[in-house]
Structure 1
C-alpha cells in the first residue's frame, strides 16, 4: 500500500494497492477507497492491466490519477504512455482529460481551486507539442537511443537522464468539468507550458501548488562549479508563467516545500552542504511566499532531529512533521509562535502521507513498522494538541488484512566504544529460547543516513525469521533519529564507529540465551553491503556474509557513481582509501555471496565485478586451481540497485537462504534448501 489522498470534504480517503499479476511476474497497482470513519470495508475503485497511480483529489471532489490504460477515445496503442484520468465524484465513468506523447509523470493539485499542474518531458529542440511529438517519432522510428550530454549528471539511481527534460504544464479543470454527451469524445485540458526552456532545473523537482492555485512552488536544480548541482526554491505564477527565485542558499540545498493554507507562507527543508569533516544537517524553515527578503527563519532550531515529511495545520499556526526518532518515525507538532515541539503519535511506528481533515481535528496517515506493513490509520489530532500528549492511532479498514508474523519483535541496546548508546530491533523466530537458541543474522541498513524503522516487502527480516534466524537490525553511527552528534560520529570514517557499533550490538544480541552465538551470519545492501565487506576484512566471527549492491573500492566508486559531487563532499581521496574494504581483501576468510545488478547506477556494476575477481584471486579463501570456491556471485543483468521484479526477488531470497544454510547452519547435501530451478 502506498500514497494517501483525502477529498476536500474529508469524506473520502484513497490509497494505492499493488498486487501480483496473473503470471506473478510484475506488480499492478489499483486505487482503493478507505472509509475515514473506519466503519465500511475498503472498496476497489479502478481495475486495469496497466494499473493506476498518483491519485489526487481536485478541489471539485473529482479523483485524478495517471495510467497507461487504454483510452476509449483514442487509437489502441499497447505502448501508450501514462495519461491523466478523471474519475468524477458523481460516480460516472473515468475518462482521459490530458495526455502528451511523452506521457505525464504525476499530478499536482490546488486545494481550493480547479487548477492542476502536470510534470512531463520535452525534447530540448522542440518548439511546441507538435514538434516534440514528431521528434519522439523520429527517434523511435530510427531506433536511436543515443544522448549527447553537455552537463553532469548523465544518470540517476536506476535510469538514464535525457535527452528530454522535465517541464511543468498547467490546466484548468473547469474546462473538463462536464461529462461528455453520449458518443462524444471527452474534453481535454488545454495545457500551458509554465516552464519553457528549463534546462536541468526540474530534473529533481518537488512541485506543489498554493491552495489558491495561483503559484507553483518547486525546487530548481542549478549547475554549480566542478560538476556539482544545487537545489534552490522558485515560485512560478500560474497565470503568467513568471518565475522568480524564492531561496538561493549558497550553504545548503532546499527541498520539500509546502504552502500554508492561506497561500502566504512556505515551509521547506534545508540541508546544509556537507564537507569531509562536517555531516549535513536537515533543518525546518519557513519563509514568506510574497516577500522572502528578511522573513526566512529557522523553526525549532533546538530540536535535534531531522524532519522528513511536513504538512501545515489547517489554521496555519503550526506544522506537523514526521521525523526518525529512536527506531521509530512519529509525527510531531511544531508551534510556529513558540517553536515548541510536541509528539503527536504514541505508536512504535513510522507515519507517512500525512493528511489533515478539513476541520483540522483529525490526521490520516499510513502507519508502518517491523510489526506491520503500511496501512491507513486515523489520529485524533485535536485531542493530542489539547492534552499536549501523544495519542495512539486507530487502524481503519484496509484493503487487505495485516500478515501474521512468524515470531516476535524486541529491542537490543549496547554501549559503543565511546560510550554512545546503540540500539537495534531484533526479530526473534517462533520457538527461540534458552533450550533452542536461534542462529543470528546481522542485517545492516543502507543509506547510510537512515534507520531500520519501517516495513519493506523487499528487505524483510521476517522472511529469514520464518527460516529460524534471529534477525538483528541495528542503527549504528550515521543512523538518523539519534541526534546530530550520532551522525557526526561516523562521518567520513565509515570503517570506524559504524563498524565498532555493529560489533558492540552484535555482542549484546549474542549474549542473549535465546541466540546461538556459534552460528552467525551478516548481510547488507548498498552502504550495508559496504559494511558487510568491511566486516569481512576485519573479523572472522561470522560464518557467512551476503553483500548486495556494495561499495568495494572507494577510489574507483567515487568518480563512477551517479552522484559523484556529493561523494566528494563527504570524503577526501585520503579518507576514501583509509575506509576502503578492498585494501583488506587478503584478510577475508569468510565465504561471501556477492549480489549485484548490471543496471545499478548508484553503485555501478564495476564494484561487484572487482569484488568478485579479487575474492577469487586475493582473499584468504581463494579459488582452487579448478576454479571452485566457497564464494558465490548472484548476478542480475536487468536489475538495478534493488531487485524489484517478483520472480527475481524470489530467486534472491532462495539463493541467500541456501548460502546461509550451508555456511551458517552447517547443512549439506540433501539437507540444504534447493536452489531455484529458474537458475537453470
Structure 2
C-alpha cells in the first residue's frame, strides 16, 4: 500500500473511532429530557411546548417553556422567572389566549399552583388567579376576557389551625372539600358557578362563551371517577343542568367548534376499573348520547376537527392499538358516524393533540422507536408530518439497542406479545436476559426509551433498560393477559387469578426466547414494580430458573 493510501486509511479509521457512538449509561438516562405538553397557536404559526429536565440535586423535574415556529427552527424560551408547577412532575396545562398574544400555564405562587399569563411580547409574567387552594385546571373564555378554572374550596379557620399545630386528623372515607368551577375576569374577582355538592374534574367553554360544560361526581375519593356526570351551567347564573346522567365514568367534556355537540370520555354505563373508556357524543342541548369510539378502546386524548364533523383520537388498546400494534398510540380520525381511520403511520406513540384555529395544522408529541419524543406538526391537507424539535440531541451520539415486537404461543394457544430489547450491534448468539414485568396489571409497554413511562417523565421507571442493553443484556418485556392490548376481556382474564395464566404467559415467552437462540437459559433475571413487583415475587416462588430478581413497590 502506498504511503498516501496508508495515511488516508489511518485518518479515516481515527475519524470513525472519534465519531463512534458510545454506550448508554445510567447517568445518561438520568439526563434525558421529556416533553410534557404541546399546544399550537390559534394562527398555526407557532407551537408552545414544555420540556422537563431532571434535577438530581433538587430531586425534582424542572419544566421550561419554549415557543418555536410551526415550520421548525430555533426555539425561544419564555417565562424563565416563574417556576412551572411540577408536583410530582411538570403539569403546565398550556393554553394560548384566543388572540395568540399570550400563553397561560400553571406555575407556583408560593406553594400553590396558580394560572400565570406569559405575554409573547416579552413582558413580565403575571398571576391571573390567587385561589387559596391553588388551581388544578383552567380554560380561557372564547373572547379572551376571562378564565374558568378548577379549585378546591378553602379550608376553614379551624382546620387551618389544626394543620398548623399538627392536631388535624384525616378520617378515612370522610368527604373532601369540593372542587368547583370558578370564573374570573382577567382584572376582576372570581365567583363559583357550581354547588358544593359536586366534585368537578374538568370543564369546557361553549364556543359562544355563554355556558361551561363540566364533569362532576357526588363524592370524592378514588371511586368518584366512576360516578361522574356531565353538566352545563350558564356563566350568567349558577343553575347547572344535567346533560349526561347515567352511571359510570362520564368525563372530560369538550364542545365541538360549532357548539352543537359535546364529546366526552365514557365507560358507557359501566362502573368498574376495568371498563373500557371510549368516546361518546351528546347534543349540547341535551338528549341521548352515543358512543363513537368503543370496541375495547381506552381513549387517551382527543380533540375536535375544526369542521365539527370528526374527532381526532389517541387510542390505547382497541382495533388500532392491539396485537402487534399494542405498543403504539396512533392518531385516529373518527367521524361522528363511527368510521375511523389511522392518520399517522408507523411505530409511533402520540400525545398532546391541538389544532390551529383553521384546522390546517395539528401539533402533537410523538415518540418514535428509540427516542424520548419530540414535537411534530401535521399538515392536514397533505397528510405530511414534520418533526420540529430535537430536545435530546445527544441521542445521535449514543449507541442504542434494538427494540422490536415479538410474539409467542402460550400454554392454551393464545398469542402473547412483548417487546424485546437487544444490545447495540447484536445479531446472533445467546444473551443473558432480564424479564421486565409491567405494572397495573392493566398497564403495559410502548415504544420509546422508557417503555413503561413514555406518557410522563421517563425517570419514574425503576429500571434503566437501555443502559442494561448496553451492558450486554437482552430485556424481554412481556404483555401477558390481564394487561393492555387484549381488550376488556383480556384484562378481566386474571380477576382473582393473579399469578396463574399471566405467569404461564410470561414463562412461555422466556421459553420462546430460549428456543429462538436469543436467551441463555443459565443467565436469566426478572424484575418489576407494583403489579410487576408482585409478579416478580410470585415467579421466584414458582421456579428456580432465575439467577437474580429485583422487585419494587410490590403488591405483596
Match of 1:457 in 2: 459
Q: Quick check: 1:408 aligned with 2:384?
A: no
Name which of 39, 57, 65 aligns with 2:96: 57
Match of 2:335 in 1: 335
Preserved contact between residue 2 and residue 374 of structure 1 (Cα < 8 Å): no
Q: Quick check: 1:44 aligned with 2:69?
A: no
Name which of 417, 431, 438 aligns with 1:438: 431
Name which of 189, 196, 210 aligns with 1:214: 210
Match of 1:656 in 2: none
* Shift in Å, 1:501: 1.4
Give the Cα separation in 2 of the matches to 1:5 and 1:213.
21
Match of 1:560 in 2: none
Give the Cα separation in 1 of the matches to 2:552 and 2:539.
14
Q: Quick check: 1:309 aligned with 2:313?
A: no
Q: Secondary structure at the match of 2:545?
A: coil
Name which of 509, 512, 532 aligns with 1:505: 509
Match of 2:233 in 1: 236
Preserved contact between residue 78 and residue 118 of structure 2 (Cα < 8 Å): no
Give the Cα separation in 2 of the matches to 1:355 and 1:275.
30
Match of 1:151 in 2: 174
Match of 2:9 in 1: none
* Shift in Å, 1:330: 0.5
Choose between structure 1 and 2: higher strand proportion.
2
Match of 1:635 in 2: none
Preserved contact between residue 123 and residue 165 of structure 1 (Cα < 8 Å): no
Q: Secondary structure at the match of 2:544?
A: coil
Match of 1:266 in 2: 262
* Shift in Å, 1:21: 4.1
Q: Quick check: 1:105 aligned with 2:139?
A: no
What stretches of structure 2 of length at least 5 have no aligned partner?
1-34, 86-91
Change (3 A) 1:505 1:138: same
Change (3 A) 1:97 1:299: closer
* Shift in Å, 1:57: 0.8
Match of 2:116 in 1: 85
Name which of 310, 313, 319 aligns with 1:318: 310
Preserved contact between residue 249 and residue 271 of structure 2 (Cα < 8 Å): no
Give the Cα separation in 2 of the matches to 1:112 and 1:37.
28
What is the count of residue pairs matched by the alignment?
493
Give the Cα separation in 2 of the matches to 1:546 and 1:329.
29
TM-score (normalizing by structure 1) = 0.67
Give the Cα separation in 2 of the matches to 1:319 and 1:529.
38
Change (3 A) 1:217 1:88: same
Q: Secondary structure at the match of 1:504?
A: helix
* Shift in Å, 1:88: 2.0
Give the Cα separation in 1 of the matches to 2:500 and 2:371.
33
Give the Cα separation in 2 of the matches to 1:233 and 1:22.
42
Match of 2:532 in 1: 528
Preserved contact between residue 438 and residue 514 of structure 1 (Cα < 8 Å): yes
Match of 1:605 in 2: none
TM-score (normalizing by structure 2) = 0.81
Preserved contact between residue 432 and residue 523 of structure 2 (Cα < 8 Å): yes
* Shift in Å, 1:438: 2.4
Match of 1:138 in 2: 161
Alignment of 1:5-20 (within 5 A): 5-20=39-54
Match of 1:33 in 2: 67
Match of 2:31 in 1: none
Change (3 A) 1:259 1:481: farther
Give the Cα separation in 2 of the matches to 1:22 and 1:491.
39
Q: Quick check: 1:66 aligned with 2:63?
A: no
* Shift in Å, 1:27: 2.2
Q: Secondary structure at the match of 1:397?
A: coil
Preserved contact between residue 214 and residue 253 of structure 2 (Cα < 8 Å): yes
Match of 1:382 in 2: 381
Alignment of 1:173-572 (within 5 A): 173=186, 188-198=187-197, 201-202=199-200, 205-223=201-219, 230-250=227-247, 252-271=248-267, 279-292=274-287, 295-301=288-294, 303-324=295-316, 325=321, 326-337=326-337, 339-384=338-383, 393-401=385-393, 403=395, 404-435=398-429, 437-453=430-446, 454=451, 455=454, 456-459=458-461, 460-552=464-556
Larger RCO of the pair (alpha carbons < 8 Å, separation 6+): 2
Match of 1:582 in 2: none
Change (3 A) 1:150 1:500: closer
Q: Secondary structure at the match of 2:412?
A: coil
Q: Secondary structure at the match of 2:196?
A: coil
Give the Cα separation in 2 of the matches to 1:530 and 1:367.
31
Preserved contact between residue 58 and residue 114 of structure 1 (Cα < 8 Å): no
Q: Quick check: 1:165 aligned with 2:178?
A: yes
Preserved contact between residue 70 and residue 388 of structure 2 (Cα < 8 Å): yes
Give the Cα separation in 2 of the matches to 1:430 and 1:90.
46
Q: Secondary structure at the match of 2:376?
A: strand
* Shift in Å, 1:68: 2.0
What stretches of structure 1 of length at least 5 have no aligned partner?
70-78, 126-133, 153-161, 174-187, 385-390, 553-680
* Shift in Å, 1:247: 1.4
Preserved contact between residue 321 and residue 332 of structure 1 (Cα < 8 Å): yes
* Shift in Å, 1:42: 1.6
Give the Cα separation in 2 of the matches to 1:535 and 1:281.
29
Give the Cα separation in 2 of the matches to 1:80 and 1:26.
15
Q: Secondary structure at the match of 1:463?
A: helix
User: After TM superposition, where is structure 1 displaced by more than 4 Å over at least 4 residues in a row?
Assistant: 134-137, 226-229, 272-276
Preserved contact between residue 82 and residue 107 of structure 2 (Cα < 8 Å): no
Give the Cα separation in 2 of the matches to 1:223 and 1:330.
34
Preserved contact between residue 372 and residue 392 of structure 2 (Cα < 8 Å): no
Q: Quick check: 1:2 aligned with 2:29?
A: no
Q: Secondary structure at the match of 2:373?
A: strand
Change (3 A) 1:139 1:84: farther
Root-mean-square deviation (Å)? 2.9
